[in-house]
């Protein structure tokens, strides 16, 4: 039996338990991190929505590790983590680790991105990837890590703030759709 143990290789040289773990993470909720010039953000899909939980004290997916670090966790039996942090040598950072033991840092930047534009991008990505007909603040958790007055500030956005971001995204989507229809109409009229 090769697939019941994590330390025994199959005849093909594979660790099936690691492959199963990676597959399970693929079915877990959406979790993303974005590195901006003025901060880092984590955004995650909430699975458990309890109205009685105090959002100030309860965070389902995002946890503060210390004064300069936080992480987002996607877990079933196995664990995938995104870490965000700041230090005086490298500034803002975003790392990932997964069940296969691979850890990595993405050093991909698309131009100059501010935390404000990163928040808008996170909402756009969550809207496209989550399995819901309409994105709602109850199903989304967002945290930011910034520097203010020489100190690292980790903040989980309140539901009202997330609602405002979603509303702004919906307005921009509606505007883009109107402009697209107007352009198509002008093309037809020619």
Quick check: is 63 in a domain? yes
User: What is the span of the domain harbouring residue 82?
Assistant: 31-189
Cα distance between residue 133 and residue 25, in whole Å:
22
Quick check: is 20 in a domain? no
- Whether residue 75 contacts residue 57, with contact meaning beta carbons closer than 8 Å, is answered with no
CATH number at residue 100: 3.60.20.10
The phi, psi pair for 6, rounded to 5°, reads: -85, -15
Quick check: is 11 in a domain? no
| CA angle at 42 for the pair 161 and 168, rounded to the nearest 5° | 35
Quick check: is 101 in a domain? yes
Q: How many CA atoms lie within 13 Å of 145's alpha carbon, on the beta-carbon side?
A: 29
Q: Where are the beta strands (DSSP E) in 76-185?
A: 79-87, 91-97, 103-105, 140-148, 151-156
Lateral strand order in the sheet of 140-148: 31-36, 39-45, 140-148, 151-156
**Tally of structural domains, the chain:** 1
Quick check: is 89 in a domain? yes
pLDDT (mean) for 52-73: 65
Residue range 69-117, pLDDT digits in tens: 777 766 554 566 788 888 889 889 888 776 655 555 555 556 678 999 9
Quick check: is 16 in a domain? no
Beta strand pairing status for 91-97 and 103-105?
Answer: antiparallel
Quick check: is 18 in a domain? no
Give the model's pLDDT for residue 113: 87
pLDDT (mean) for 163-188: 90
Burial class (CB in 10 A: 0-12, 13-18, 19+), 31: buried
Question: Residue 10 pLDDT more than 60?
Answer: yes
* All residues at 6 or more sequence positions from 146 whose CB lies less than 8 Å from its CB, including other chains: 38, 39, 115, 152, 153, 155
Give the model's pLDDT for residue 72: 73
Quick check: is 4 in a domain? no
């Amino acid at each position: 039996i090769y697939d019941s143990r994590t330390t025994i290789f199959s005849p093909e040289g594979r660790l099936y338990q690691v492959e199963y773990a990676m597959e399970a993470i693929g079915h877990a909720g959406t979790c993303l991190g974005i590195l901006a010039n003025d901060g880092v953000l984590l955004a995650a899909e909430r699975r458990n929505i309890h109205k009685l939980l105090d959002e100030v004290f309860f965070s389902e997916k995002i946890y503060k590790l210390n004064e300069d670090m936080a992480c987002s966790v996607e877990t079933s039996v196995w664990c995938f983590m995104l870490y965000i942090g700041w230090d005086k040598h490298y500034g803002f950072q975003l790392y990932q680790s997964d069940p296969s033991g691979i850890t990595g840092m993405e050093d991909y930047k698309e131009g100059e991105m501010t935390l404000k534009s990163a928040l808008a991008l996170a909402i756009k990505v969550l809207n496209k990837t989550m399995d819901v007909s309409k994105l709602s603040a109850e199903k989304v958790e967002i945290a930011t890590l910034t520097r203010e007055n020489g100190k690292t500030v980790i903040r989980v956005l309140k539901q009202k703030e997330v609602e405002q971001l979603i509303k702004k995204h919906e307005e921009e989507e509606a505007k883009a759709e109107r402009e697209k229809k107007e352009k198509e109409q002008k093309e037809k009229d020619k």
